[in-house]
Amino acid sequence: MTSNLTIAERLRRSGVSRRHFLTFCGKLMVVAPAGLALTSYITPQAVAATIGRARRPSVIWLHMQDCTGCTETLLRTSEPDLATLLFDVISLDYHETVMAASGTDAEAALKDAMSQNDGKYVLVVEGSIPTKDNGAYLKIAGRNGIDMLKEVASHSAAVISMGSCSSWGGVPSSNINPTGATGVDSIIKDKPVVNIPGCPPNPYVLLATVLEYATAGKLPALDSLGRPKFAYDRVIHDHCPRRAHFDAGRFAAQFGDSGHLSGWCLYKLGCKGPVTHAPCSTRHFNEVVDCWPIGIGAPCVGCTEKDVAFTVPIFTTADIKRPVPPDFYPAVNPEHKPISATATGVAGLIGGALLGAGFLASRKMNDGATKDEPKE
């Protein structure tokens, strides 16, 4: 039985080179330099040793109202490649997109996976769950998504919402939300739920979370929205490589203009970096440096944030919630509020009128200085 082997043993068996595995561990350390027990070691070798000792965590992956993008992002890892991933590091016991079975075989596979790892598997959910009309808008094998989710979650150890859709509803939930799409944590209340929003998120965040659970037996520290702090504790803006351009006031005004071509800040093109919590500034995609929206010159749309993504128009500028000083300076004696010309004019008129009236009145004073009858 291969299921009792440690990850290290399985990797050896599969012929995955140690170099490849160490590279993978290094990537995990980059994704989560702080906040995880797994990556708090100094060297990739130490991380590798920790992972190697663990047993493969069982993962059941459900698709709900999704585009499968979150699966795709996982497929875009080369280190480890998909096969290694599936069989050696995690035990992906049920995944509709990549598994071979279909139809009743697929349903049987799910039942088997659940019963063999009862109470121990990690449930990863991709896609939002429609709740309107009693969940009629998603049915698999005659069962609606809500029931399916509840059932599978009830036997799981923990639930991970992979992507914005399962974290808070995602694209399907945008106005007018015809299906009543919602995230996992509005339905599952009795199990720990980790939200990994993003459209799609960085796959290494998922891997780090799952492996942390496998090696340390606990989930990473979460923020108030259930997101792992190691990845979502900062906004893009605060880690953005283009921040110096923002601070210096160098903005691309139009796609393709010289500023845009020079890699200047995309704030004026609607970049939502200042209001988006996500690790993308420093953890890029497809394992290619600068392969992320801002890196290729497209303004961030805030895909992790429920109040931003698919709600605030892409080219609407973001609110800077905590403005800080720019990269330029005021002079020692700057010019302040100038004098209003209108006010000066009015004052001149009034002053002149009073003086003139006084002078004219004084001229008239000598005709009949003491009147016998009062004027009024």
Partner 1 sequence: MSTDRRAFFKNIAAAAATLTVLPTAALAREKKTAPPDAVGLLYDTTKCIGCKACVVACKDANRMPADTDGYGHGLYDSPDSLNQYTKNIIQLYKDGNEQSFVKKQCMHCVDPACVGACMLGALKKGKFGVVSYDVSKCVGCRYCETVCPFNVPKFEWAKAAPKIVKCELCKERLAEGKEPACTEVCPRKAVIFGKYTDLLDEAHLRLKNNPGKYINKVYGERELGGTQVLYLSHVDFEKIGFRFQQDESVPHLQQTVSHGIYKGFVGPVALYGLLGAVMFRNRGKSEKES
Partner 2 sequence: MQTHAQPIGGPLFTRSYFVLLSIAAIGMALILWRFAVGLGVATGLSDGYPLGIWIALDVVTGTALACGGYAVALVVYIFNKGNYHPLIRPAILTSALGYTIAGASVAVDLGRPWNMWKIPTYVWNWNLNSSLLEVALCIMAYVFVLWIELSPAFMEKFSVDGPPLLQRWSKRLLPILNKSLIWIIALGMLLPTMHQSSLGSLMMLAGPKLHPLWLTGWLPLLFLMSCLAMGYAIVVFESVFSSRAFGRNPEIPMLINLQKIAAWGGLVFVAVRVADLAYSGNLHYAMTLDLYGTMFWIETVLWLLPLVMMLASPRPNLGSLFRGAMVVALAGALYRFDTYLVAFQPGPGWHYFPSVPEMFITIGLVALELAIYVAVVKRFPIIAGAARPPALVAQGSANSGATAFHIASSQERRQ
Provide the binding-site residues for partner 2, judged by CB under 8 A: 333-340, 342-344, 346-347, 350, 355, 358-359, 361-366, 369-376
Q: What is the largest CA-CA distance in the chain?
A: 131
Among 15, 103, 119, 334, indicate the residue that binds partner 1 (CB under 8 A).
Answer: 334
Between residues 15 and 374, which has the closer beta carbon with respect to partner 2? 374
Q: Binding string, 214-253, against partner 1, x = CB under 8 A?
A: --------------------------------xx-x----
Shortest distance in whole angstroms from residue 364 CB to partner 2 = 8
Distances, alpha carbon 360 to alpha carbons 348, 351, 352, 363, 365, in Å: 18, 14, 12, 5, 9
**Quick check: 332 binds partner 1 (CB under 8 A)?**
yes
Q: Which of 195, 178, 177 is nearest to 186 (CA)?
A: 195
CA-CA distance, 15 to 114, in Å (whole number)?
29
Shortest distance in whole angstroms from residue 218 CB to partner 2 = 54
Q: State the pairing for strand pair 158-162/193-196.
A: parallel
DSSP 58-122: EEEEEE-B--SHHHHHHHT--SS-HHHIIIIISEEEEETTT-S--HHHHHHHHHHHHHHTTTTPE
Among 142, 323, 338, 374, indicate the residue that binds partner 1 (CB under 8 A).
Answer: 323
Q: Which does 190 bind (CB under 5 to 8 A by kind): partner 1, partner 2, none?
A: none
CB 88 within 8 A of CB 16: yes
**Quick check: 320 binds partner 1 (CB under 8 A)?**
yes
CA dihedral in degrees (289, 290, 293, 295; nearest 10)?
180
Q: Binding string, 132-151, against partner 1, x = CB under 8 A?
A: --------------------
Between residues 190 and 335, which has the closer beta carbon with respect to partner 2? 335
Shortest distance in whole angstroms from residue 257 CB to partner 1 = 17
Between residues 15 and 330, which has the closer beta carbon with respect to partner 1? 330
Cis peptide before 192 (omega within 30 of 0): no
Cβ count within 10 A of residue 53? 11
Shortest distance in whole angstroms from residue 324 CB to partner 2 = 23
Binding site for partner 1 (CB under 8 A): 246-247, 249, 267, 320, 322-326, 328-334, 336
